[in-house]
Chain A
Amino acid sequence: MGDQGTSGPGTPHHLVDHLFRNRAGQMVAWLARVFGPAHLDLAEEVVQDALVKALQRWPYSGIPDNPSGWLLTVARNGALDVLRRNASFAGRAHEIARELERATKGSDEDSTVEDDELRMIFMCCHPSLTPDARIALSLKTVGGFGVAEIASAFLTTDAAIAQRLVRAKRALRDNKVGLELPAGQELAERLDSVLAVIYLLFNEGYSAHAGEQAVRQDLCGEAMRLGQIVTRSAHLARTRAPVAHALNALMSFQAARLPARVDENGELVLLEDQDRARWDHGLVARGFAHLERSAEGDEMSTYHVQASIAAVHAGAATPDETRWPAILALYDDLVALNPSPVVRLNRVVALSKVEGPAPALAALADIEREPALAHYSLLPAVKARLLAEVGDLQGAAGAYRRALAEPCTEPERRFLLRRLAACEE
Chain B
Amino acid sequence: MPKYILLLHDNVSAFANVSPEQMQKVIEKYVRWGNKLREMGVVKGGEKLSDEPGKVMRAGDGQVRVTDGPYSETKEVLGGYYLIEAPTYAAAVEYASDCPQLEYGGTIEVRQIDSM
Known: A59-B34, A60-B80, A62-B31. A52 touches B21 (CB 8 A): no
Task: Assess whether A176 is interfacial by the CB under 8 Å rule.
Answer: no
**Chain B residues within CB distance 8 Å of chain A:** 10, 15-24, 26-28, 30-32, 34-35, 38, 43, 45-48, 51, 79-80, 82, 100
Known: A56-B48, A146-B19. A7 touches B38 (CB 8 A): yes
Residue of A whose beta carbon sits closest to that of B34:
A1
Known: A20-B23, A57-B48, A63-B27. A146 touches B18 (CB 8 A): yes
Known: A20-B24, A52-B15. 6 other contacts (CB 8 A): A51-B23, A55-B27, A56-B10, A62-B34, A144-B20, A149-B19
CA distance A57 to B79 in the complex (A): 9
Contact B27 A52 (CB under 8 A): no
Contact A60 B46 (CB under 8 A): yes
B17 proximity list for chain A (CB < 8 A)? 146-148
Task: Assess whether A61 is interfacial by the CB under 8 Å rule.
Answer: yes
Task: Assess whether A34 is interfacial by the CB under 8 Å rule.
Answer: no
Minimum CB–CB distance for A7 against chain B, Å: 7
Among A11-19, A96-104, A410-418, the stretch that binds chain B is: A11-19
B23 proximity list for chain A (CB < 8 A)? 20, 51-52, 54-55
Q: Which of A216-241 contact B (CB under 8 A)?
A: 218
Contact A55 B15 (CB under 8 A): yes
Contact B34 A21 (CB under 8 A): no
CA distance A2 to B43 in the complex (A): 8
Task: Assess whether A301 is interfacial by the CB under 8 Å rule.
Answer: no
Minimum CB–CB distance for A343 against chain B, Å: 35
The count of A-to-B residue pairs whose CB atoms sit within 8 angstroms is: 88
CA distance A146 to B16 in the complex (A): 11
* Residue of B27, B31, B45 touching A2 (CB-CB under 8 A): B45
* Residue of B26, B43, B46, B47 touching A55 (CB-CB under 8 A): B26
Minimum CB–CB distance for A21 against chain B, Å: 4
What is the interface size of chain A, counting residues whose CB is below 8 A from a CB of the partner?
Answer: 33
Contact A14 B28 (CB under 8 A): yes
Task: Assess whether A48 is interfacial by the CB under 8 Å rule.
Answer: yes
Task: Assess whether A145 is interfacial by the CB under 8 Å rule.
Answer: yes
CA distance A51 to B26 in the complex (A): 11
Task: Assess whether A89 is interfacial by the CB under 8 Å rule.
Answer: no
Minimum CB–CB distance for B29 against chain A, Å: 9
Known: A7-B34, A15-B27, A61-B48. A56 touches B19 (CB 8 A): no
Residue of A whose beta carbon sits closest to that of B45:
A2
Contact B31 A59 (CB under 8 A): yes
Residue of B whose beta carbon sits closest to that of A18:
B21
A15 proximity list for chain B (CB < 8 A)? 24, 27-28
Contact B80 A58 (CB under 8 A): no
Contact B21 A145 (CB under 8 A): yes
CA distance A61 to B27 in the complex (A): 11
B18 proximity list for chain A (CB < 8 A)? 146
CA distance A55 to B79 in the complex (A): 11
Contact A54 B27 (CB under 8 A): yes
Residue of A whose beta carbon sits closest to that of B10:
A56
* Residue of B19, B21, B27, B79 touching A58 (CB-CB under 8 A): B27
Known: A1-B34, A1-B43, A149-B19. A21 touches B48 (CB 8 A): no
A379 proximity list for chain B (CB < 8 A)? none
CA distance A57 to B49 in the complex (A): 9
A133 proximity list for chain B (CB < 8 A)? none
B26 proximity list for chain A (CB < 8 A)? 55
B47 proximity list for chain A (CB < 8 A)? 2, 60
Minimum CB–CB distance for A222 against chain B, Å: 11
Known: A56-B48, A63-B27. A145 touches B19 (CB 8 A): yes
Q: Which of A19-60 contact B (CB under 8 A)?
A: 19-21, 23-24, 48, 51-52, 54-60
CA distance A54 to B27 in the complex (A): 8
* Residue of B20, B21, B48 touching A60 (CB-CB under 8 A): B48
Most buried by B among A52, A56, A59, A145: A59
A60 proximity list for chain B (CB < 8 A)? 46-48, 80
